[in-house]
Amino acid sequence: MSADPELMANRVIDECSSTNDLARLLAERGCPDGTWVSARRQSAGRGRHGRKWEGIEGNLFLSVVSRIPDSRLWSWVPLTAAVGAAAALRERAPRMDIRIKWPNDLWVGGAKMGGVLCEAAANRNESFIVIGIGLNCLERPGGLDQETTSLSEAAGKAIHADEVRVAVLQGILEGLAELQARGTGLASRRYHQWAVFTPGMRVQWGVSPTRSGRVRGIGSAGELLVWADPGGMERLFAEDVRIRRAF
């Protein structure tokens, strides 16, 4: 990277490998809480569990640095960011039924429209979390092992990242400010209102062996509580959880 990363703080740039990498550089250089960077294209974007995240122009790629001092709230940051983004989009498009698939995917009509990747770093002097959100605005990526959609597809008209970037950023920042000031109440209430995984729903997680159970809700750390088969409560923190289809 040739340009000074500090020049990219709170800016939309044309291209980078990953906005999460840029935000991390900014954080390591001491940028304040809430600093953000967005790119029109990403050449090496990544998703959760080491997956690739396509950098299609017209979609949103945005990363925010959070310096929430109370580390007990850290496990709530991914869900709070997803809920904040969903709240902003719901306000702009009230007829679009945007939901949260735990822990931090944005879904519409049973398909994934966006996701959040949080990466934390700490040393003796400081700690921070980089929150990266990818939102399929103009186009949905193909070739994934799950159904995807885009804001444009859901709205029935073309919507470019430029039209929603500020609203999504504000939604995330407001959610984080609320989390710091008043705790997890609002994020938790909104999550339950918009959750894909409703109580009693049958879900599956894990690979070889695959586990299954019924959703109970979320716990005090933002984890998914599941009553597992054949019995017993499990607390899931970062697993890929799928709706279990009837055979």
Asked if residue 132 binds ligand BTN (CB under 6 A), the reply is yes
The upper half-sphere exposure of residue 110, i.e. CA atoms within 13 Å in the direction of its Cβ, equals 2
Give the residue carrying structure tokens 């306000």.
91
Helix, strand or coil for residue 212? Answer: strand
Q: Per-residue x/- mask for ligand BTN, residues 54 to 73, rule CB under 6 A?
A: -------xxx----------
- The distance of closest approach from Cβ of residue 124 to ligand BTN in the complex, given in angstroms and rounded to an integer, is 27
The residue within the footprint of ligand BTN, chosen from 84, 115, 171, 175 (CB under 6 A), is 115
Binding positions for ligand BTN, 80-109, rule CB under 6 A: 105
Instruction: Pick the closer one to ligand BTN by CB: 81 or 179.
Output: 81
The interface region with ligand BTN, picked from 47-55, 155-163, 179-187, 200-208 by CB under 6 A, is: 47-55
The interface region with ligand BTN, picked from 14-22, 65-73, 92-100, 201-209 by CB under 6 A, is: 14-22
Q: Per-residue x/- mask for ligand BTN, residues 18 to 37, rule CB under 6 A?
A: xxx-----------------
Asked if residue 150 binds ligand BTN (CB under 6 A), the reply is no
The interface region with ligand BTN, picked from 46-54, 95-103, 158-166, 187-195 by CB under 6 A, is: 46-54
* Alpha-helix runs per DSSP H in 48-124: 77-92
Which residues of this protein are in contact with ligand BTN, per CB under 6 A? 18-20, 42, 45-48, 51, 53, 61-63, 105, 115-117, 132-134
